[in-house]
């Protein structure tokens, strides 16, 4: 009888969880952390060079189990959103002019794909760099758009392992959104994030 | 030399989103700064970012920088009235926009440093 009740009340559904945010906030690092924890494999390349992720990466049918609750999860890692892409920035990272120009074009296409994808997700994990003030126009615009579409949203205040990280300012700036402090790199705060995902998905 | 153009809400009223974005981007892609006296909702801003990135495919054009701000005006103790006017400052992508204090901005572009005040 107990197991029947548990089954009835436990979650077992599918959901698309999308990692979205500005450039270099740690989306791919978090995607890898989640995919490694639940599917034992990485899904994205990471790099210090901006716009490393230039296409939308999906991993489907992740068996996302937390306690008695289970989700058939599609995890989506998206290119970072920026209002501008300057090819000269890539030259500073050692690329030739042609390589930098090509990368800027790919990054531009990636951003546009992210913007279009934003409107079709079930759950959005908005990554913010907790070492920076949370008032960037890109993050505010992303959050506003998600709110307009009534998309379930969690803010991941990432990089808490770094000096100067301030998650309180993010929490107080967005009191109507669930904010989970994490370090995707070190794995801090992941259980809290997983519980939050399962509770709102 | 970068120029700055103030666009009143009445000047763009009635334009469709696409026409409004073209109106803005025509100016910004020519290395000008637009101060738009009009509120854009978040989805309009995202669409402007997307269109701005794709507007011109040449080596020097790098999209846009955007800054939203509002100022309170018309405070009169007698009537206790107060209005908020919404502005969007849209500049070439390779510029830097810094708010010095409320209503006062410093915009650095390739060839200019502009101090702009809306108060």
**pLDDT value at residue A176:** 93
Q: How far apart are CA A137 and CA B68, in angstroms?
A: 8
For chain A, the residue count is 201
Residue in A183, A83, A197 with CA at minimum distance from that of residue A140: A83
Question: Hey, which of A5-9, A16-20, A66-70, A106-110 has the most confident mean pLDDT?
Answer: A16-20
Residue A198: the pLDDT is: 95
- Residues B90-100 pLDDT 10s: 988 888 877 77
pLDDT tens per residue across span B48-78? 999 998 886 566 677 898 888 777 776 655 5
d(CA A183, CA A83): 26
Q: pTM to 2 decimals?
A: 0.85
* Domain edges within chain B: 4-117
Instruction: Please indicate if any CB of chain B lies within 8 Å of the CB of A92.
Output: no
Contact A86 B93 (CB under 8 A): yes
So what CATH class is A12-200? Answer: alpha beta
CATH, domain range B4-117: 3.30.110
Domain ranges for chain A, please list them.
Answer: 12-200
Residue with tokens 């926009």: B97
Q: Do A86 and B47 touch (CB under 8 A)?
A: no
Q: Model ipTM?
A: 0.80
The yes-or-no verdict on residue A5 having pLDDT over 60 is no
Q: Which of B3, B68, B63, B10 is nearest to B39 (CA)?
A: B68
pLDDT band at A101 (very low <50, low <70, confident <90, very high): confident
Among A113, A141, A142, pick the best mutation site for testing chain B contact (most B Cβ within 10 A): A141
**Residue A51 pLDDT > 70:** yes
């Amino acid at each position: 009888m107990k197991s029947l009740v548990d089954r009835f009340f436990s979650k077992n559904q599918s959901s698309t969880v999308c990692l979205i945010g500005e450039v270099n906030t740690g989306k791919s690092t978090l995607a890898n952390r989640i995919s490694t924890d639940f599917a034992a494999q990485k899904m994205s390349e990471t790099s210090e060079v901006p716009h490393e992720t230039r296409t939308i990466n999906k991993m489907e049918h992740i068996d996302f189990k937390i306690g008695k609750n289970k989700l058939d999860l599609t995890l989506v890692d998206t290119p970072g959103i920026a209002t501008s892409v300057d090819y000269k920035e890539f030259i500073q990272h050692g690329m030739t002019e042609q390589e930098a120009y090509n990368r800027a074009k790919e990054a531009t296409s990636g951003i546009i794909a992210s913007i279009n994808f934003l409107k079709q997700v079930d759950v959005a994990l908005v990554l913010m760099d907790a070492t920076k003030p949370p008032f960037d126009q890109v993050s505010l615009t992303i959050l506003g758009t998600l709110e307009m579409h009534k998309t379930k949203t969690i803010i991941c205040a990432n990089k808490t392992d770094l000096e100067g990280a301030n998650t309180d300012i993010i929490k107080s700036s967005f009191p109507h959104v669930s904010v989970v402090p994490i370090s995707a790199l070190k794995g801090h705060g992941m259980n809290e994030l997983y519980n939050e995902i399962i509770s709102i998905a | 030399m970068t120029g700055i153009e103030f666009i009143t809400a009445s000047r763009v009223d009635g334009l469709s989103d696409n026409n409004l974005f073209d109106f803005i981007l025509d100016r910004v892609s020519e290395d000008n700064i637009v101060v738009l006296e009009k509120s854009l909702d978040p989805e309009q801003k995202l669409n402007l970012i997307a269109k701005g990135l794709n507007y011109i495919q040449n080596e020097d054009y790098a999209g846009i920088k955007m800054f939203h701000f509002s100022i309170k005006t018309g405070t009169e103790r007698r009537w206790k009235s107060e209005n908020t006017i919404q502005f969007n400052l849209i500049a070439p992508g390779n510029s830097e926009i810094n708010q010095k204090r409320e209503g006062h901005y410093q915009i650095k572009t390739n060839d200019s440093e502009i101090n702009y005040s809306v108060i």
